Structure 1
């Protein structure tokens, strides 16, 4: 017989190789997927460990408390979304505004679903609000910076919030209904509005 049972040493080595590179980011990605599928109530050390393919103790070691895990997962999700949306690193041209948005939804639906789950959960758990609000400020500020590059005058807080709300609504609708082409059409209309505003005296 050529198939032999691996020795304990071989099994340990194989396990290390399988999980080589698994660290905080991999665990945060696993936490995002757990919440996206089952809501915040499903977020436990064991669920994250199972999702990531690691031991329960490793999750405890990295985060120490469930609240710390939630806070870091929120930060991770929003920063990943900002990078993927090209919201904060655009060209300053209205034609390029939020050009990465539809692709971001398709490539990372768990990140988006996670954030919506957290927003809803914050209605039931007000202790989540301060951290969530602080991180959403990053979205609002990024939107404002992009608008400031496009428009002749500094955008008001209300305008920045309005534009962000439109983007967030498009993300939610694409997440739920699909229809990337509708997102693209709506973004084209938004860009046209920004272009007209940019050329007004």
Structure 2
């Protein structure tokens, strides 16, 4: 199998089977954009014939939808968004490092989200993506004993979504770590039933 991708950079080892084709599709979209998602591009990225890609998925939309669901599951699993732990310290453990190791996974999802502004088809996929993440965030909060009817989980996910976007686009891993640390402080306060403590502001020196 060749190690040169359609984008000219080294291609990761995909292995074999349907999952390998989904990983290749994620890479194509992340590096070239959604309009370049074709059977031939995915086949070239994975080092197989385009007929094999067509055989597995049947249509471009089916390929995109399956790749999106695959990316969501991968992201939720590795970030521990749907954590089994009741401790806020374990919530999205190592998020900055995970994003740094696999930026294509998240870039792929943002490409789908941007396309949702122009395509009703992509919008349906984007709605499924966000619904999956919000549900996972709600489950994670519930295991910490933080029950809510949706707004808190939406707020937590929105904060994480923004941090991941910033890191993927400008590479601010350190900022992600600090912000996640602050988010865990808020979750600890909610878990204990007390309001988060505000840090005192520094006094402004008079001119």
Q: Within 1, Cα distance between the matches of 2:81 and 2:134?
A: 10
State how 1:106-117 maps to structure 2 within 5 Å: 106-117=100-111
Residues 95 and 191 in structure 1, CA contact (< 8 A), matched pair in contact too: yes
Q: 1:20 deviation in Å? A: 10
Question: What's the counterpart of residue 24 of structure 1?
Answer: 18
Answering whether residue 164 of structure 2 is matched by residue 171 of structure 1, we say yes
Structure 1 residues 165 and 20: CA distance shift in structure 2, 3 A: closer
Match among 120, 129, 137 for residue 135 of structure 1: 129
Aligned residues: 182
Which stretch shows the higher mean deviation, 56-65 or 142-151? 142-151
* CA displacement 1:51-100 (0-9 Å, x = unmatched): 00111111111111111111111111111111111111241111222113
* CA displacement 1:97-135 (0-9 Å, x = unmatched): 211321220121111000000001011111222233123
Give unpaired runs (5+ residues) of structure 1.
1-18
Residues 90 and 98 in structure 1, CA contact (< 8 A), matched pair in contact too: no
Report the structure, 1 or 2, having the larger helix content. 1
Match among 171, 184, 188 for residue 195 of structure 1: 188
Q: TM-score, normalised by structure 2?
A: 0.83
Q: TM-score, normalised by structure 1?
A: 0.85
Higher RCO, 1 vs 2 (CA within 8 Å, ≥6 residues apart): 1
Q: Within 1, Cα distance between the matches of 2:131 and 2:90?
A: 22
Residues 116 and 123 in structure 2, CA contact (< 8 A), matched pair in contact too: yes
Match among 69, 80, 85 for residue 75 of structure 1: 69
Answering whether residue 33 of structure 2 is matched by residue 39 of structure 1, we say yes
- State the 4+ residue runs in structure 1 displaced beyond 6 angstroms: none
Give unpaired runs (5+ residues) of structure 2.
1-12, 195-207
Please tell me the root mean square deviation across aligned C-alpha atoms, in Å.
Answer: 1.7
